[in-house]
Chains A and B, each alone.
Chain A
Amino acid sequence: MMDLAASLLSPEFFAAILRVSTPIILVAMGVLISERAGVVNIGAEGMMLSGAFCGVVFSAYTGSATVGLIAAIVAGMVGGLFMSFAVHVLRANLFLSGIALNLAASAGTILALFSLTGEKGISGTLDSEVLPSVHIPWVQDLPVLGTILSGHHILTYVAFLSVPAVAIFMMRTPTGLRMRAVGENPEAAKATGLSVIRLQLQAFLLCGVFAGAGGAFLSMGYVSWFSQNMTAGRGFIALAAEVMGAGGAYGTLAASLLLGSVDVLAIALAGEGLPSELLQAAPYVVTVLALALYGLRQAKQKTIGTVH
């Protein structure tokens, strides 16, 4: 047990939290934008998975990690385009369209993988690239902080920097303001002359950028291959993080870090001989509990908030 306690307080543990939280933060930022624009994007999981797949395939065939990343982002945006087409043009149900996208991405990536490599499980035969890690000068030489903060994957830094960027985008720019207006009261926004469809399309596309990048992190950094359904519900965990963060970028970051820590903790505990299936379920259990607590708090605030 002493070993465990030591490993939990080690700089490597905190570094692992940053690493594991990265895809959740990225996707949660995308989900936040679409949610505030009034289109809860259940399809984030599918966008992420397509991103992970395209990143591996395009980097393997071009030999360029950058092309892979761009392909991953484009794949996410194509998912966003699909969502917008389904919801705005075909007038399909938002949630069902998201579920359809997820199922299509799950099966579609396996099909494409099989036609390219003959494998159904893993892209091991594809010689794909990974995105670089970044060693921050000065910081990397600091004793404990150096281990925690430096040497991460480039997308980890992008994820953390994207949080204030998204906060400023949503709260301080004209487009962010318009998206929030459209999300809260589309009829009123329309009467003001805003184009609800255009703004929601933009939100879907931005969500695709983030989800695609989150997927690229998984297959081009966290590991260096694509495996079937490798997102493992992270798109949904990001949705939960956004709800727990009450639609704010910083709150969503905090919730993503919490959910990431549980994941890391589960990995650490697996070394202690606890059943790994149980531990793998931990992040999802915590998500459910956190959402339940959040719901309770909301209900309570409603009743105590405004006593005469």
Chain B
Amino acid sequence: MQMTGDETAPQKALVEFREIGKTYPNGTVALRNVSFQVIEGDILAVCGENGAGKSTLMKILAGIEQPTQGTIHYEGRQKRIADPNVAGDMGIGMVHQHFSLIRSLSVAENLALGQEPRRGLLIDRRAAADRVRELAQKFSLDVDPETKVGSLSVAAQQKVEILKALSRNTRLLILDEPSAVLTPQETQELFEQLRSLRARGVTIIFISHKLHEVRALANRITVIRSGEVVEDGVLSEMSDAAISKLVMGVDVTRASRNQRDLSAATPVVVVKKATVATGDSDRRIDAIDLTIRAGEILGIAGVDGSGQEGVVDLLCGNVQPDEGDISLLGRPMALATTLDWRRAGMAHLPGDRFQIGGAPHMSLVDNVMAGSHRDKQFTRGPFLRVDAMVARTNELIKTFNVRCLGPREPLNSLSGGNAQKLVAAREFSSNPKFLIVNQPTRGIDVAAAAMIHGELLRLSQNGTAILLVTSDLDELLQLSDRVAVMFDGRIAVVLENDGLTPERLGPYMLGLEKAS
């Protein structure tokens, strides 16, 4: 059935948001005057930058948060969705971006949680397992009720999460960036499942900022920017350019890479048969061979936990290899500490800007100075030169366009994107010979991401060897000269990026194919 705004077909609103507003106690306005309808039987894409308020709106609909203004009407009646149980009773289920599953419990226990079938005082385990089998069969989502959730793959966990959301006669399914953790093939499978749910009459809202996914799945789109609805309409009537402009508010030109031949460039980092067999299992690596040349961006792809973090640990001096050799510009680095690496010209933009990249409660000055507080230009005798430190911070704030109230503010007063820009400014400005960037744009807005991408390309043109670890395949393919795909702690294949596609990487990410 075509749903493209056919005026003759009766379009019934399942949900209507009326002037919804949400202001947090600290004064942050997350949503302002949001009004639109969710039509029954639609797949509605809710788009917007990170921090635009999409997730907040969906949490309000799922009963996790309460609006400070406005009303929600469900099937034509005004409803107060006081908590997730009320939402569940109304037939609203939500699949969270960070799964709401308990890892040590079985699939059946997770699905039963909060509405356990009982036999006397105890949980009726058989009934709980039967319920899962029944649901799994009904929605063709194959899961074993007795398995512990923690031992399932991410894709399987998502299936459980979807089943959980569907477990209470669900008529409206909300998914918050469901593809963020999946490989391209898994995403395709998920979309198939969502289409078949729609065919069964389930209305779907899904949050995404990936335009091609929105196109593939949705028929309507609502764009939210800075807490307000800026567009609400039929998807097929809008161009990509129009949507992307609506999402960002401005035209952002995406930095793009020039195809270059770097085979003759100097190798900067050479890793030979490096193995790390101790520590967390998802950080172990097995006989890794890697070369990163001057001016090259080497991207590392892989399902999260395939050993990417282990390679980062190894090349920033967090761990030393149990076997194998590493060199940086010809210097042996197998036994080097992080300080040795930094002195030899390494810089590192870590995956978590508030845990490893920066100290959230300390000022921007302190965060900018981390690592260079012993430099002559910032000290006088045993004392720090605060004036020089502040000047330096102001300089970086200006060149990297960090939006902040001032250099003395704590890092955590900045938005994610601006905090990341500040940490990136510190790392990038040291003119590194070798730069590690780990998930450089995860959870930050498109404009800040574009700026960081531009800086990475500029550094690579100036001869910096860059190791890019990212689970965002669009970013990976946009920036990398070569792509190494990791699976189970090994490098499955290294591919030249001459028109690589996500589909090409998928089989290697899943361990279905290996380079011969």
Contact = CB atoms under 8 A, between A and B. Distances in A.
A188 to B, nearest CB: 4
A302 B280 contact: yes
Interface in A254-308: 302-303, 305-308
Contacts of A181: 102, 105, 113
B96 interface: yes
A192 B281 contact: no
B488 interface: yes
B489 interface: yes
A190 B64 contact: yes
Interface in B275-305: 277-281, 284, 286
Interface stretch (A17-25, A83-91, A171-179, A219-227): A171-179
A173 B350 CA distance: 43
Interface stretch (B82-90, B133-141, B246-254, B356-364): B82-90
B241 interface: no
B374 interface: no
B4 interface: no
B114 A192 contact: yes
A180 B109 CA distance: 11
Given A191-B94, A192-B113, A308 B102 contact: no
A10 interface: no
Interface string B94-108: 101011111111000
B122 interface: yes
Nearest to B119: A172
A303 B278 contact: yes
Contact of A191 (B96, B109, B118): B96
B121 interface: yes
A74 B84 CA distance: 34
A12 interface: no
Contact of B114 (A173, A178, A184, A307): A178
B96 A306 contact: no
Contacts of A302: 280
A127 interface: no
Contacts of B109: 177
Contacts of A188: 96, 99-102
B116 interface: yes
In this complex, which of B96, B100, B164, B278 has the most chain A Cβ atoms within 10 angstroms of its Cβ? B100
Contact of B123 (A174, A184, A190, A303): A174
A191 B64 CA distance: 6
A192 B122 contact: no
Contact of B121 (A173, A177, A178, A191): A173
B84 A174 contact: no
Nearest to B284: A308
Nearest to B94: A191
B286 A174 contact: no
Nearest to B105: A181
A177 B277 contact: no
Interface in A147-189: 168, 172-174, 177-178, 180-181, 184-185, 187-189
B489 A308 contact: yes
B103 A174 contact: no
Contact of A180 (B62, B102, B114, B280): B102
A173 B104 contact: no
B122 A187 contact: no
A185 B102 contact: yes
B85 A180 contact: no
A178 B63 CA distance: 19
Given A174-B116, A194-B114, A305 B102 contact: no
A193 interface: yes
A185 B123 CA distance: 20
A246 to B, nearest CB: 12
B116 A177 contact: yes
Interface string B204-221: 000000000000000000
A207 B102 CA distance: 23
A40 B113 CA distance: 23
B102 A189 contact: yes
B88 A193 contact: yes
B100 A187 contact: yes
Contacts of B84: 190-193
Contacts of B280: 302
B388 to A, nearest CB: 38
Contacts of A189: 102, 113
A258 B105 CA distance: 30
Interface in B481-506: 488-489
Contacts of B63: 193
Contacts of A305: 281
A150 B122 CA distance: 32
A172 B102 contact: no
B103 A303 contact: no
Contacts of B101: 185, 188
A307 B284 CA distance: 9
Contacts of A192: 84, 100, 113-114, 164
A301 to B, nearest CB: 11
Contacts of B123: 172-174, 177
A174 B118 contact: yes
Given A193-B85, A306-B281, A178 B113 contact: yes
A194 B88 CA distance: 12
Interface in A21-49: none
Contacts of A190: 64, 84
Contact of A184 (B62, B102, B122): B102
A304 to B, nearest CB: 9
Nearest to B109: A177
A308 B287 CA distance: 12
B485 to A, nearest CB: 17
A264 to B, nearest CB: 35
A24 B64 CA distance: 40
B489 A180 contact: no
Nearest to A306: B281
A163 B112 CA distance: 25
Contacts of A178: 113-114
B122 A172 contact: yes
Contacts of B112: 177
In this complex, which of B88, B102, B164, B286 has the most chain A Cβ atoms within 10 angstroms of its Cβ? B102
A305 B112 CA distance: 30
In this complex, which of A168, A177, A180, A302 has the most chain B Cβ atoms within 10 angstroms of its Cβ? A177
Nearest to B112: A177
5 contacts: A168-B122, A174-B116, A184-B102, A189-B113, A193-B63
Given A168-B122, A181-B105, 11 more contacts: A173-B123, A174-B118, A174-B123, A180-B102, A184-B102, A184-B104, A188-B99, A191-B62, A193-B114, A194-B114, A306-B281
Interface of A: 168, 172-174, 177-178, 180-181, 184-185, 187-194, 302-303, 305-308
7 residue pairs, one from A and one from B, having the closest CB atoms: A193-B84, A193-B85, A191-B100, A188-B100, A174-B116, A306-B281, A172-B122
